[in-house]
Chain A
Amino acid sequence: MLKAYLLVAAAVFAIGLFGVLTRRNAVGILLGIELMFNAVNINLLAFARFGGGVAGWILALFTIAITVAEIAVGLAIVIVIFRVRRTVEADHLTLLRG
């Protein structure tokens, strides 16, 4: 049963990675990252259930909280970029190009 959970988590992780790699929209990329975090949480809780003790739960709780902080800061940055550049396309954000 543990392996079934791990395989589902790996599939969700790969789907999220696909989204991060192929999305042009900055918000779309953030959603892909969200899926990858989610897959990690499934892994942590599966290990905790099948013999890992309470540490998996604690790590998953921390991951959830940190993801919320990450998404808040990430979307604030997206909104600022919108105001400055009027675009969400990650390919067009070349302000740092020398």
Chain B
Amino acid sequence: MSGEAVGFVVIAAVLLAASLQVVISTNLFHSVLWLALALVTTAGLFLLLHAEFLAAAQVLLYAGGVVTIVVFAIMLTERLTGQTIRQMNRGIAWGGVVATGVFASIAGVVLRAPARPAGWGAEPASTATLGRALLSDWVLPFEVLSVLLVTALLGAVYLARTED
């Protein structure tokens, strides 16, 4: 096996194990830490896919930002209720059946699809082409996205503010 294949297998194994821990851990705080590991290993997958910029954005925004916000929210709500939040799962059998079914149907489609569909052959993306595309063809969605971000942050602050 080549080095890339070995790296892929190792990263994928860690990613799947961490993802499983996120959904079955009984301690919510541990869940968040496992999620951080899953997000960082996903950034590793992005590096294997030669998407360095996206890997950096993933670590900064997800592993840095999202995990921090979730940890803050857990600490805040634990202080409000004054007790450690234990979490349990319910309906594990049905959840497992549905999740396995979804995975099996996706895997079936993937395995039956041709390895290289006709019409493919666009040159692989790079950070330079991403920057050019963002500020030319995709500039309107890009700007709308910034409006959405400001709106969401203002809304979050408005919702979570304390009455005084």
A32 and B23 contact, CB distance less than 8 A? yes
Chain A interface residue number, banded: 35 or more
- B side interface size, CB within 8 A: 82
B116 and A51 contact, CB distance less than 8 A? yes
The complex places the Cα of A10 from the Cα of B106 at a distance, in Å, of: 7
Q: Is the interface of A mostly helix, strand, loop or mixed?
A: helix
CB within 8 A of B19: which of A16, A49, A86? A16
Q: Is the interface of B mostly helix, strand, loop or mixed?
A: helix
From 1 to 39 in chain B, residues with beta carbon under 8 angstroms from any chain A beta carbon are 5, 8, 12, 15-16, 19-20, 22-23, 28, 31-32, 35, 38-39
**Quick one: given A10-B103, A53-B125, A54-B130, are A60 and B54 in contact (CB under 8 Å)?**
yes
Interface residues of B (CB under 8 A from A): 5, 8, 12, 15-16, 19-20, 22-23, 28, 31-32, 35, 38-39, 42, 45-46, 49-51, 53-54, 57-58, 61-62, 65-66, 69-70, 73-74, 76-77, 80-81, 85, 87-92, 94-96, 98-100, 102-103, 106-107, 110-111, 113, 115-117, 120-125, 129-130, 133-134, 138, 141, 145, 148-149, 152-153, 155-157, 159-160
